[in-house]
Structure 1
Amino acid sequence: MKKSTLLLATTIPGLAAIGSGLASSYFYNYAFKSLERFPKGSASNPTEDTIYYPSYHWFQDQPKEDWWLNATDPENKLHAYFIPNPKNTKKVAVIAHGYKGSAASMAASAKLFYDDGFTVLVPDDRAHGLSSGKYINFGWLDRLDYADWLDHLIARLGTEIQIVLYGISMGGATVMMMSGDPLPPQVKAIVEDCGYTSAEDELAYQLKRSFKLPKYPLLPMVSRINKLVLGFSLNSVSALHQLKRNKTPIFFIHGEADTYVPTQMCYQNFAATDAPKDMWIVPHAEHAKSYWTDPETYHKRVNDFLNRYLD
């Protein structure tokens, strides 16, 4: 073999490896790095002409407390808004926001539960809102933080409270992943809206959808990066795995027209648990738009489910 041919044969695999490494690093930062600012018009930063603004305005004006975990540790401090309801402090909704969102982006959900007589706790997940962190963990570490928030709620409001876990998109995945861990008896029901089956499934789907790229070899490399940065591999982050251990009643909601977290994932999540359960596929609803597509029916469906399990 000529020297030039041998050099080419050894260089091409090397270049391919370098290219894959650069691509995986780019995709990791694209998918995992926190936002520096919220886009104008988003649910976290709505303009007056958006559907989010009335509930966002209510949320900003509502009397509330700032709660903190790890308050003296700048790199690990976590924030939540606590909104006590003068009508009822025994029913509590813990509300988990979506990917690259914030507690404020869940204003409509907070108002929905508050108007139904719930006290509300809305955390900012790691690397979101007022909480510390640079990289998003897709709910896997957040689920542990929410367990700490539950302890704070019970310490503040007493052991007689009844708690509902509610989340949309990544928040939906977060509360599903919580369901496989030991939960305090005060948690009576879970409502998840358009959560994914696993971080690996969702990222593989987005690689294909947005970049026209296959799962291999990029996603295993991204997983290795995340193991170094956040301490866990992507195959750990599985709602499906956690739901198999779930015993808490759970209501699955998903938009029929969801192309961001494909609707098929809802059917998979539903099938994964043997706990008391119900499912509603919302006609014509896109990702995280089920409430906005049909607010009255959404409200009724959630209420009907929760009334089975709360006093």
Structure 2
Amino acid sequence: MLLFTLIVMLFIIFLIKARDIMFGYAVLEKKRSSDEIFRLMEYTNVYDRKHYYKQQFEKLTIKSDDGFKLTAHYLECYKESNSIIIFLHGYSVDHHRSCQYIDFFIEKGFNILLVDQRSHGESEGKYTTYGSYEVRDLNLWVNLMIEKFGGNCVIGIHGHSMGAATALLYSGEGEGKVKFIISEAGYSDAEELLKSKLHKHKIPVFPFYKLTCRKIKSKCGFGMKDVRPIDIVKGSNIPILFIHGDMDELVPCRMGIDMYRAKKDHKAIYIVKDGMHNTCYSKDKNIYEEVVSRFINENI
């Protein structure tokens, strides 16, 4: 009897430890430094950090609905222009990850807003919420840009991975504020994404998925099953360009295709051959920019 009790106790401790590890991986993953991010972009030949440090960024801050100070870096390229592109990075990086795109958008006539999403970079926050709270933060940034440039301004959003999912979640309430969204490597369903992460690390979905989700709900205040960008995209009238690498190792390419198919109209898709999660742009910058340029020209 004593041995059985000991075995049960050890098993429970194992479950708790495994759940806590998965919880940490899901919402508390170690953030990459700016040096790591720049080194990756320099390695793939999409951006040189020297360009970043030459720019005169203005630091902007706002307060989130739940009291966190959020930070973004604004680059005014055209004083007379009322066009702004808002960049949203993915999980575990920060606004530096979005730098690779800014030269192209400057050429297209846009002013630049590089956002540090909550709990990333210079923005406060305890947990990553896969877009659940980030979408509220995005609305505050959009409203700030409208306040700054007026109601007739042209606002576009470019999001990568979690940033893309955040933008897609905003594609419903953002109508009338946002002219277009570019979603690169965005996920359609956070619940399915978490399950795929469990499979990738060879962790059984049962019982660890439910255990992890319960802790996420109690600690972070949101449910993974409620973060479903595909549901919002179905009813959105904002033009959306879906970009996805067909070899994406983190967010399955089929998620981007599913969302493209779910959206009724005002849509485009670009599947990057041999593109991985972080290499869609570097695979062929010319084609990427050509696709994006055509999409923008058709929708503003």
Which residue is 2:178 aligned to?
187
Aligned residue in 1 for 2:115:
123
What does residue 216 of structure 1 align with? 206
What are the superposed Cα offsets for residues 271-296 of structure 1, whole Å, 9 maximum, x if unpaired? 22223111111111111211100000
Task: Tell me if structure 1 keeps the 8 A contact 2:159–2:165.
Answer: yes
Amino acid at match of 1:292: S
SS of equivalent to 2:139: helix
When Rg is computed on C-alpha atoms for both structures, the one with the higher figure is 1
Greater share of residues in helix: 2
Partner residue, 1:233: 223
* Code of the aligned partner of 1:185: G
Q: Deviations over 1:61-92 (max 9, x none)?
A: 21121010129x9x610000111122652211
Shift of 1:241: 2.0
Q: Which amino acid aligns with 2:210?
A: P
- Work out whether residues 31 and 93 of structure 2, in 8 Å CA contact, stay in contact via their aligned partners in 1: no
| Offset at residue 18 of structure 1 (A) | 3.1
Alignment of 1:148-227 (within 5 A): 148-180=140-172, 182-209=173-200, 211-227=201-217
Supply the distance in 2 between the matched residues of 1:99 and 1:219 (Cα, whole angstroms): 19
Helix, strand or coil at the partner of 1:285: coil
- Between the aligned partners of 2:167 and 2:232, the Cα distance in structure 1 is 10
One of 97, 120, 127 as aligned partner of 1:105 = 97
| Structure 2 residue 50 is matched with structure 1 residue 60 | no
Equivalent residue for 1:26? 21
Q: Deviations over 1:206-254 (max 9, x none)?
A: 1111x21222211211111111222111111111222123221111110
The one-letter code sitting in structure 2 at the alignment partner of 1:46 is R
Higher alpha-carbon deviation: 54-63 or 284-293: 54-63
Between stretches 237-246 and 185-194, larger displacement belongs to 237-246
Give the secondary-structure state (helix, strand or coil) at the position aligned to 1:248: coil
Looking at structure 1, the residues matched to 233 and 154 of structure 2 have their Cα atoms a distance apart, in angstroms, of: 21
SS in structure 2 opposite 1:281?
A: strand
Secondary structure of the structure 1 residue equivalent to 2:166: helix
Partners of 2:45 and 2:24 in 1: how far apart?
A: 28
Q: Structure 2 unaligned runs (5+)?
A: none
Which amino acid in the other structure matches residue 186 of structure 1? Answer: K
User: Do 1:93 and 1:163's aligned partners in 2 also have CA atoms closer than 8 Å?
Assistant: yes
Contact 1:164 1:188 in 2 (8 A): yes
Mark the CA change 1:159 to 1:300 in structure 2 (over 3 Å): closer, same or farther. same
**Which residue matches 2:135?**
143
Structural mapping, 1:244-283, within 5 Å: 244-283=234-273
User: Alpha-carbon deviations, 1:8-50, whole Å to 9, x = none?
Assistant: 2x6555543332222111111123115365275x32x427952
Report if aligned partners of 1:193, 1:288 keep a CA contact under 8 Å in 2: no
TM-score scaled by length of structure 1: 0.89
Instruction: State the SS of the aligned residue for 2:12.
Output: helix
Taking only aligned residues, the RMSD between alpha carbons, in angstroms, comes to 2.2
Q: Is the 8 A contact 2:41 2:100 kept in 1?
A: no
CA contact (8 A) 1:256 1:282 kept: yes
AA of the residue aligned to 1:261: V
Tell me which of 228, 233, 245 is aligned to 1:243.
233
For normalisation by structure 2, the TM-score amounts to 0.92
Contact 1:167–1:174 (CA under 8 A) maintained in structure 2: yes
Q: Answer whether contact 1:94 1:166 (CA < 8 A) is retained.
A: yes
Counterpart CA distance in 2 for 1:253 and 1:110 is 17
Shift of 1:257: 1.4
Shift of 1:54: 3.6
The 1:62/1:273 distance shift into structure 2, 3 A limit, reads: same
Asked whether the 8 Å contact 1:110–1:122 carries over to 2, the reply is: no
Distance 1:267 1:49, change over 3 A: closer
After TM superposition, give the deviation of residue 195 of structure 1 in Å: 0.8
Identity across matched positions, percent: 28
Residue 96 of structure 1 deviates from its aligned partner by: 0.6
Residue 120 of structure 1 aligns to a residue whose secondary structure is strand
